[in-house]
């Protein structure tokens, strides 16, 4: 029972970070149909930027986190303008490869600036361990859960209540109809990238807090795929639920079965989901017509 | 005066090389390949061998991605299957290297078909992600089944011998490499002149329309996975024999990305492009490393950034090609040819090869 509780909290905590990474992915996919293989590297940038502002510049953490999000959003804007916009309407392989190229460049930049050695920044999530009943769970993961949920809730509100959020949904629904209503598609794509980069930065900050500032943060980028496929590529709710399920599965598989099975379970789930329900739990089913 | 190419019989019209200039270029290229190993240093021979292997792998991937339109991120996994199958067959069962390479090709084709099964329901992005899963699963099997594969430890492959000579020297392997790469290129070129190859292309261009005109879409996709994996497995097996030693790190997702970059940069769905892309993506990091060594004395700070520069250059090459010349190096090559075709006049030939 104790082990179950520990694994559950750890799994949910990790799952929420997956969800934060996945939400950025979903926002970009929803708005512009681009599959972003550089999502993990946006997280990586977030981790290193906050390290830069907190440790190397020495700002208080509120200012540091805000600045990190701003800079990350700026990177998102720049990437959209220079790399993605010329490729609007190109085939899927081009989109996949351009974001892979992007991922390579972003990683190289981080590596060139900060080097390969792991670093740390002062934690702003509570440290140490908390007793839940008789189970010991690490406090940072426990706190990460409501924090991530609040952020994701905020994003959901953004999509329902604000003008640009609604414009984004309109474009995802029908580009031509949205165009004829006077919505600027390039502007919405740019907003999507800025938003995705900023949420990824938050994910990166939390991740940096839990696992430390290392180049390995970018590995999370690949974990996003099982999450978004399970939840549905174009659903924010799906990203949250999918993140939680994949995080839990990983920790249960690792905790109860072992053998490094936690590395592979998400992908097995992914293949099963793809075979049974390709559009995921909450995704929109697309009917193709010739 | 003759103002174009006019064929008077079917044989020349349907030839792979239709114009004297094309035959001349091929002859020159072949002659250069024959002379090369006698003049080149071991360093360049090694690079040439890597390019030969990469060309085979890139051709295989191009059959699947460029000609059939099924994006695959599982290249590294399929190469791993080829490499480990051939190595283990020789190591454990003592099969001669030629037999084990052929067996490895067929084994990889079978694994390719298995991971191609999701293409029954999936296409495009979703299929790409399912091949990503294939990559991760194969990698996991290799690293977590030590009894079979040696796990994370490297496997030492017995050296292949022919007429008592070791074949995995740079000089010896060169001949194996170029013959097999040439054979693969010839096979691929002819494949897409056949009914089967045409059905691959039909599935790429519009799968539903293809099924309407009587192409068995699912069967075609599986066949494409099999054909492609066959050659990818060959590339993997050759890697094993050339390197003498294999470990899982050589066949990660990075390998898949590397090969995808080759066919993107070279040109999707072209044979020439597979060679160009393989050469560029193999030479690029090597050239940067050479430049880095030059800088070691004068500017050690710059030399320290070498890995980052290599990685950034790799990413930049992909991005720049996709943004400025999505049809890749093979299109650039054609532009050059077209320019000289009508030189000194400025207008361009419209259609043609």
Full set of structural domains in chain A with CATH: 2-276 (1.10.3470)
Q: Does the structure show a pLDDT above 80 at B300?
A: no
pLDDT band at residue B293 under the 50/70/90 scheme: confident
Report residue A105's pLDDT band, with 50, 70 and 90 as the boundaries: very high
Average pLDDT over residues B245-257: 88
Segment A78-83 shows an average pLDDT of 90
In chain A, residues with a C-beta closer than 8 Å to the C-beta of B328 are none
Average pLDDT for A267-284? 81
Partners of A87 on chain B (C-beta within 8 Å) are 322-323
Quickly state the pLDDT bin for A208 (edges 50, 70, 90). Answer: confident
Average pLDDT over residues A247-271: 84
List phi, psi (to 5°) of A274: -60, -40
User: Nearest CA of chain B to the CA of A92: how many Å?
Assistant: 7
Question: SS3 for chain A, per residue?
Answer: CHHHHHHHHHHHHHHHHHHHHHHHHHHHHHHHCCCCCCHHHHHHHHHHHHHHHHHHHCCCHHHHHHHHHHHHHHHHHHHHHHHHHHHCCCCHHHHHHHHHHHHHHHHHHHHHHHCCCCECCCCCCCCCEEEECCEEEEHHHHHHHHHHHHHHHHHHHHHHHCHHHHHHHHHHHCHHHHHHCCCCHHHHHHHHHHHHHHHHHHHHHHHHHHHCECHHHHHHHHHHHHHHHHHCCCCHHHHHHHHHHHHHHHHHHHHHHCCCHHHCHHHHHHHHHHHHCCCCCCCCCCCCCC
Tell me the pLDDT tens digit for each residue of A17-69: 888 888 888 888 888 878 888 888 998 888 899 888 888 888 888 888 899 99
Min Cα distance B48 → chain A (Å) is 25
Eight-state DSSP code of residue B155: E
Assess whether pLDDT exceeds 70 at residue B126: yes
Q: Which residues of A touch B315 (CB under 8 A)?
A: 100-106, 108
Which range of A247-251, B7-11, B274-278, B296-300 scores highest in mean pLDDT? It is: B274-278
Any A CB within 8 A of B261 CB: yes
How confident is the model at residue B4, as a pLDDT? 65
| Mean pLDDT, residues B68-81 taken together | 92
Query: Residue B190's pLDDT band (boundaries 50, 70, 90)?
Result: very high
| CB proximity A272 to B under 8 Å | no
Inform me whether the pLDDT recorded for B130 exceeds 60: yes
Confidence of residue B352 (pLDDT cuts 50, 70, 90): very low
Mean per-residue pLDDT over chain A, rounded: 84
Nearest to B121 among A93, A98, A275 (CB): A275
Task: Check B316 against A268: CB less than 8 A apart.
Answer: no
Please tell me if residue B71 touches chain A, with a CB cutoff of 8 Å.
yes
What is the average pLDDT across A226-252?
A: 87
How confident is the model at residue B353, as a pLDDT?
43
CB interface of A with B, residues 111-140, below 8 Å: 111-112
Q: How confident is the model at residue B231 (pLDDT cuts 50, 70, 90)?
A: very high
Of B126, B257, B323, Cβ closest to residue A100? B257
Least confident interval from A211-215, B71-75, B88-92 = A211-215
> How confident is the model at residue B349, as a pLDDT?
53
pLDDT at B292 over 90: no
User: Which residue from B137, B144, B310 is facing A267, i.e. has the nearest CB?
Assistant: B137
B71 interaction partners in chain A (CB closer than 8 Å): 92-93, 96
pLDDT at A117 over 90: no
On the question of pLDDT at B164 being above 80, the answer is no
The answer to whether the Cβ–Cβ distance between A290 and B253 falls below 8 Å is: no
Q: Does A107 touch chain B (CB under 8 A)?
A: yes
Tell me which chain B residue has its CA closest to the CA of residue A88. B323
Which residues on B lie below 8 Å from A93 (Cβ)? 65, 71, 260, 264, 268
Give percent of chain B above pLDDT 70: 96
Q: In this predicted structure, what is the pLDDT of residue B66?
A: 92
How high is the pLDDT of residue B203? 92
Judging contacts by C-beta atoms under 8 Å, the chain B residues touching residue A263 are 136, 140
Query: Exposure of B353 by Cβ count < 10 A (0-12 exposed, 13-18 middle, 19+ buried)?
Result: exposed
The model carries a pTM of 0.89
Nearest-angstrom CA–CA distance, B316 and B308:
12
């Amino acid at each position: 029972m104790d082990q179950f509780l520990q694994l559950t909290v750890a799994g949910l905590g990790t799952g929420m970070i997956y969800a934060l990474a996945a939400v950025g992915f979903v926002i970009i996919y929803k708005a512009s149909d681009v599959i972003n293989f550089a999502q993990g590297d946006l997280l990586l940038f977030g981790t290193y930027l906050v390290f830069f502002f907190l440790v190397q510049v020495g700002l208080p953490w509120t200012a540091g986190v805000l600045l990190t999000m701003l800079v990350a959003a700026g990177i998102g804007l720049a990437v959209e303008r220079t790399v993605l916009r010329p490729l609007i309407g190109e085939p899927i392989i081009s989109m996949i490869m351009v974001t892979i190229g992007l991922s390579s460049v972003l990683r190289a930049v981080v590596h060139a600036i900060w080097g390969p050695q792991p670093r740390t920044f002062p934690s702003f999530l509570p440290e140490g361990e908390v007793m839940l009943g008789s189970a010991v769970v690490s406090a940072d993961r426990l706190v990460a859960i409501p924090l991530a949920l609040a952020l994701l809730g905020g994003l959901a509100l953004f999509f329902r209540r604000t003008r640009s959020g609604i414009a984004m949904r309109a474009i995802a629904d029908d580009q031509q109809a949205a165009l004829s209503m006077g919505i600027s598609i390039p502007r919405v794509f740019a907003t999507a990238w800025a938003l995705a980069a900023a949420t990824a930065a938050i994910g990166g900050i939390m991740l940096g807090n839990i696992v430390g500032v290392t180049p390995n943060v970018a590995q999370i980028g690949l974990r996003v795929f099982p999450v978004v496929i399970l939840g549905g590529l174009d659903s924010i709710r799906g990203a949250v639920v999918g993140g939680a399920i994949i995080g839990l599965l990983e920790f249960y598989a690792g905790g109860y079965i072992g053998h490094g099975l936690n590395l592979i379970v998400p992908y097995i789930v992914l293949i099963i989901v793809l075979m049974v329900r390709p559009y995921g739990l909450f995704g929109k089913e697309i009917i193709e017509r010739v | 005066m003759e103002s174009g190419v006019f064929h008077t019989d079917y044989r020349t019209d349907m030839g792979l090389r239709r114009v004297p200039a094309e035959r001349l270029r091929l002859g020159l290229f072949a002659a250069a390949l024959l002379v090369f190993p006698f003049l080149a240093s071991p360093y360049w021979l090694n690079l040439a061998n890597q390019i030969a292997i990469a060309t085979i792998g890139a051709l295989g991937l191009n059959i699947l991605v460029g000609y059939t339109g099924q994006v695959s991120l599982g290249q590294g996994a399929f190469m791993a299957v080829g490499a480990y199958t051939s190595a283990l067959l020789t190591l454990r069962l003592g099969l001669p290297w030629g037999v084990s390479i052929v067996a490895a090709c067929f084994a990889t084709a079978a694994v390719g078909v298995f991971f191609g099964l999701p293409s029954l329901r999936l296409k495009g992005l979703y299929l790409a992600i399912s091949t990503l899963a294939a990559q991760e699963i194969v990698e996991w099997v290799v690293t977590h089944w030590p009894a079979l594969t040696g796990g994370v430890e490297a496997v030492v492959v017995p050296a292949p011998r022919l007429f008592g000579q070791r074949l995995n020297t740079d000089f010896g392997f060169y001949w194996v490499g170029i013959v097999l790469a040439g054979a693969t290129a010839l096979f691929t070129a002819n494949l897409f002149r056949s009914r089967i190859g045409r059905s691959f292309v039909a599935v790429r261009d519009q799968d539903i329309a293809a099924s309407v005109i009587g192409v068995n879409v699912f069967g075609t996709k599986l066949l494409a996975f099999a054909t492609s994996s066959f050659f990818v497995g060959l590339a993997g097996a050759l890697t094993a024999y050339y390197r003498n030693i294999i470990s899982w790190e050589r066949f990660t997702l990075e390998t898949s990305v590397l090969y995808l970059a080759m066919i993107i940069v070279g040109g999707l769905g072209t044979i020439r492009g597979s060679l160009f892309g393989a050469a560029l993506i193999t030479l690029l990091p090597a050239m940067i490393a050479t430049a880095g060594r030059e800088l070691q004395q004068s500017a050690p700070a710059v030399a320290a950034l070498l890995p980052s520069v290599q990685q950034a250059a790799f990413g930049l090459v992909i991005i720049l090609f996709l943004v400025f010349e999505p049809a890749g190096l093979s299109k650039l090559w054609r532009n050059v040819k077209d320019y000289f075709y009508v030189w000194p006049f400025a207008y361009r030939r419209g259609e043609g090869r």
